[in-house]
Structure 1
Amino acid sequence: MKIFITGGTGFLGKSVVKRLLADNKELHMLVRSPEKAEHINNSNVNLIKGTLENIHEWQHKLAGMDVVIHMAAPVVFWGKWSMYQKLVIDATVDLLKYTEMNKVKKFIYISSESVLQDKKDLLNIDESCPYPKEPNSYYGKSKMIAEKKILESPSKVERIILRPTFIWGNEVAAIQAMISKVKQGTFSWIDHGNTIIEMVHVDNVAEAIALAVHKGKDKDVLFVTDDNPKKAKEFFTDMLSTQGIAIPDKSLPRFIARPVASVTEFMWRVLKLKNDPPITRFDLAFVSMPRSYRIDQIKNKLGYKPVVSYQEGLERMKKI
């Protein structure tokens, strides 16, 4: 089976490549620079130089593929809307169009739980939960629009959308940002960290993607989690402790932090400040928005179950 991958050199992509190679798949990876894939030494991996901004130049490479897995996106939560429009929405629409033109059978899109995040708690929900009017980040909004365009497209390609929750594991970028805030004394729990949140180990997402390659059906939209919700304080304390970092107990109530985040965002946009704001609505939601998801659908449709447990994931992080 021939699989075309975008985002194969990223945090998630590395695990997906490893998982698919274990299944002896032939991979064709889009790379901005071949040097980024030097760590891959496998005859089943072919590199295609290109970006999401010049799809028309390399789209012919999709010919002969069985599946396209689209993971590449700017995983940043502050920036100009034009970036998200171009690299998330437009790139996804174009890639799906060329996927069909080249007669590829299946298109797997890696989305995010952030498509549903606005102000409301997201407890015990499933995939039938409607989209909010306006997600609390441009990232979530762009992913939401991309999902809608995929599902509304008249394309004959089988389209599967996976929505991972917060992806964690070795090399997760978010941990460095949190460590930096702790060291600078700017980190604070919200509501003492008692909020229930969901997470998913990077190798569990890779497992879900591998299953979707064979079992995913057209217009499947599926949450991917560790099936193990935890309080924010427990999870982030455990994760940072693997790096020898202790988080202080300082806390703010959400009813105070929420308007502060909204005002901060407003000021940064009005003043057109180039640096990232110290707090955004998404930052706040990351540690304080209650959320838990039912994953009956991915279990029933794909036969998914986590392959890496919570404790095993933490033990792996201690070794880096």
Structure 2
Amino acid sequence: MKILLTGATGFLGKYVIDELKNNSYQVVAFGRNEKIGKTLIDENVEFFKGDIDNLDDLYKASQDCSAVIHAAALSTVWGLWEDFYNVNVIGTKNIVQVCEEKKLKLVFVSSPSIYAGAKDQLDVKEDEAPKENDLNYYIKSKIMAENIIKASNLDYIIIRPRGLFGIGDTSIIPRLLELNKKMGIPLFVDGKQKIDITCVENVAYSLRLALENKEHSREIYNITNGEPIEFKEILTLFFNEMETEGKYLKWNYNLVLPLVSFLEKVYKLFRIKKEPPITKYTLYLMKYSQTLNIDKARKELGYSPKMSILEGVKNYVEHSKKNDRKS
């Protein structure tokens, strides 16, 4: 079976390709980064350089494919609305059009950031997502993309994976480690807020399970490692493996929030693309607990994490140390 994978040259893409290849799938790796794309090519993977806002590219790339895993997205906490709209909304609309015309199954990588808010949320289920959330443009665009898919006639499954980390991550863990080096990591509740993170290998596995599932259609699933953990505890795991000290700063949430809100307004007013020093979304992550219920994925997809958080941390740190020795 041949699968079209959008976002193939991104962090998650490489792991999805490996998961599919190891289970005898042919993959059309669709993405914009030709340099990375060429490194993916082998007897089971062909690379198609294209844009998801170009329907012709999608029609050509999907030739002879049986299904689409749509992982391409502008995934950042800040930017201009038109950029998020063009990639995350129009891009998804194009994917849906191609899938409907060719009668292809669609597995869509959404985001549990759509649950985000200024409150503690524990054991959140899929149907508890708000219909609207304007906390940032990424969240807004992901909700719109989900709604486009829900309004279609497709055989689809939507996956909401939380806090991906692993070798090749350029976002969550590297940012925190760099922040620790520069100034220290801000804590608002002594780092006791509970969070969910997910080994990227487990997310790739869940996407294959969604692809292969014949019994359930037009469903949404949360995906995590199923190991809720305190924010400071996960940092301590990393620092212990790295044999380094964690530096922490105690910040006053009630003082920081007005400043962050003001900065966001200024950045939006002047259409500044560069991310502010801190956003409300990031602030909420560092103040409030949020854990997801994955019972539905366990029951209906047969999902059970293949890699524990500790294993993921050890792999990440070991790889980082090897790279440090080489450089």
TM range (shorter): over 0.9
Q: 2:159 aligns with which of 159, 162, 165?
A: 162
1:143-195 C-alpha deviation (Å, 9 max, x unpaired)? 11111111122x2x211100001001112112222233223216311221110
> Residues 241 and 139 of structure 1: is their aligned pair in 2 closer, same or farther, counting only changes over 3 Å?
farther
* Secondary structure of 1:38's aligned partner: helix
Deviation at 1:98, TM superposition (A): 1.0
The answer to whether the aligner puts 1:67 opposite 2:67 as a matched pair is yes
Contact map agreement 2:157 2:220 (CA 8 A) in 1: yes
Other-structure match for 1:307: 306
> Residues 224 and 269 of structure 1: is their aligned pair in 2 closer, same or farther, counting only changes over 3 Å?
same
Give the Cα–Cα distance (whole angstroms) in 2 for the partners of residues 245 and 286 of structure 1: 24
Which sits farther off after the overlay, 227-236 or 178-187?
178-187
Q: Which amino acid aligns with 2:26?
A: E
* Secondary structure of 1:306's aligned partner: coil
Deviation at 1:245, TM superposition (A): 4.8
Contact map agreement 2:108 2:158 (CA 8 A) in 1: yes
Give the Cα–Cα distance (whole angstroms) in 2 for the partners of residues 76 and 165 of structure 1: 14
1:97-142 C-alpha deviation (Å, 9 max, x unpaired)? 11111232x1000011111112232212211204153242211111
Contact map agreement 1:191 1:253 (CA 8 A) in 2: no
Q: Which amino acid aligns with 1:170?
A: I
Q: Which amino acid aligns with 2:165?
A: W
Give the Cα–Cα distance (whole angstroms) in 2 for the partners of residues 34 and 298 of structure 1: 34
Give the Cα–Cα distance (whole angstroms) in 1 for the partners of residues 29 and 312 of structure 2: 27
Other-structure match for 1:178: 176
Contact map agreement 2:184 2:248 (CA 8 A) in 1: no
Other-structure match for 2:195: 197
> Residues 267 and 169 of structure 1: is their aligned pair in 2 closer, same or farther, counting only changes over 3 Å?
same
1:211-233 C-alpha deviation (Å, 9 max, x unpaired)? 11111632110000000000011
The answer to whether the aligner puts 1:148 opposite 2:150 as a matched pair is no
Between the aligned residues of both structures, percent identity stands at 27
Contact map agreement 1:127 1:223 (CA 8 A) in 2: yes
* Pairs within 5 Å for 1:209-224: 209-215=207-213, 217-224=216-223
Q: Which amino acid aligns with 2:140?
A: K
The answer to whether the aligner puts 1:319 opposite 2:318 as a matched pair is yes
Contact map agreement 1:78 1:276 (CA 8 A) in 2: yes
Give the Cα–Cα distance (whole angstroms) in 2 for the partners of residues 96 and 250 of structure 1: 46
Q: Which amino acid aligns with 1:13?
A: G
1:206-265 C-alpha deviation (Å, 9 max, x unpaired)? 110111111163211000000000001111232355445533121224333333322221
Which sits farther off after the overlay, 8-17 or 112-121?
112-121
Q: Which amino acid aligns with 2:208?
A: A
Contact map agreement 1:179 1:245 (CA 8 A) in 2: no
Deviation at 1:5, TM superposition (A): 0.3
* Pairs within 5 Å for 1:93-104: 93-104=93-104
1:59-103 C-alpha deviation (Å, 9 max, x unpaired)? 133232111000011121100000110000110011111111123
The answer to whether the aligner puts 1:133 opposite 2:132 as a matched pair is yes
CA RMSD, Structure 1 to Structure 2 (Å): 1.8
Other-structure match for 2:13: 13
Contact map agreement 2:131 2:143 (CA 8 A) in 1: no
1:4-58 C-alpha deviation (Å, 9 max, x unpaired)? 0011121111111101101010111113243212333520111112112323334
* Secondary structure of 1:65's aligned partner: coil
Q: Which amino acid aligns with 1:78?
A: W
TM-score for the superposition, normalised by structure 2: 0.91
> Residues 92 and 241 of structure 1: is their aligned pair in 2 closer, same or farther, counting only changes over 3 Å?
farther
> Residues 139 and 242 of structure 1: is their aligned pair in 2 closer, same or farther, counting only changes over 3 Å?
farther
TM-score for the superposition, normalised by structure 1: 0.93
Which sits farther off after the overlay, 13-22 or 215-224?
215-224
> Residues 194 and 253 of structure 1: is their aligned pair in 2 closer, same or farther, counting only changes over 3 Å?
farther
Give the Cα–Cα distance (whole angstroms) in 2 for the partners of residues 17 and 219 of structure 1: 23
